[in-house]
Amino acid sequence: MNKSIHSTTILGVRHKGVSVIAGDGQVTFGDTIIKAKARKVRKLYHDNVLVGFAGAAADAFTLFERFETKLDEFRGNLSRAVVDLAKDWRMDRYLRRLNAQLAVLDKENMFIVSGTGDVIEPDDKIMAIGSGGSYAYAAAKALIQHSTLDAEQIVTEAMKITAAICIYTNAKLTIEVLK
């Protein structure tokens, strides 16, 4: 699996008791923009879990379905659901070929899940994946440290900064919030 997923940006932040995830809307095919308002983030499990994807759309939708099943199986326990999904993703021959990453969070936890079996829990309550992930992460980190913005404003501004830098990211954002 290609560790660097291109053509999207997903940013998740937990700040002052609020969890927020955002995804840009741009879909590219090679070097051509073919869609500007794609929805790459969603609420799952009774609107208590936020999830976003980077990578191949069909692969991501397959993972959304599997992840939702895991959330139901573990009654919304995010930690257990992501670990079990990562285990299946790594062991299952079909799933192993999927080219995507997931960023998931609830009110207390956040994880990046990859097809290589990685389950990463960020230390600083910020996570970002996709081609613009590094830009979004840096912008959100600076905004958290040097502003009085709330979580949704931080994510919005960080994604706007990313869209101005990354050619695979646009400013047509989908934002989901858990308060």
Q: Is position 4 within any domain?
A: no
Distances (CA, A) of 21 to 41, 74, 87, 89, 161: 7, 22, 24, 23, 16
Residue 66's domain is classified under what CATH number? 3.60.20.10
How many domains does the chain contain in total? Answer: 1
58 membership: H or E segment, kind and range? helix 57-73
Q: Is residue 155 a part of any domain in this protein?
A: yes
In terms of pLDDT, which residue wins out, 152 or 56? Answer: 152
Q: Evaluate whether residue 121 is within a structural domain.
A: yes
Answer whether residue 78 is part of any domain. Answer: yes
pLDDT at 4: 45
Binned at pLDDT 50, 70 and 90, residue 79 comes out as: very high
Amino acid at 176: E
pLDDT over threshold 60, residue 56: yes
CB 156 within 8 A of CB 173: yes
User: Which residues form the catalytic set?
Assistant: 8
Q: pLDDT value at position 135?
A: 98
Q: What is the pLDDT of residue 93?
A: 67
Query: Is pLDDT above 60 for 60?
Result: yes
- Tokens 């930690």 belong to residue: 79
- Identify the domain containing residue 163 by its residue range: 9-178
> Which whole number is the average pLDDT over 38-48?
95
Q: Is the pLDDT of residue 122 over 90?
A: yes
Q: Is the pLDDT of residue 3 over 70?
A: no
Report if residue 3 sits inside a domain: no
Instruction: Strand 100-105: give its sheet, edge to edge.
Output: 41-44, 49-55, 100-105, 110-114, 119-120
| Predicted local confidence at residue 95, as pLDDT | 63
Encode pLDDT of 95-117 as tens digits. 666 778 899 999 999 999 986 77
d(C-alpha 112, C-alpha 24), whole Å: 17
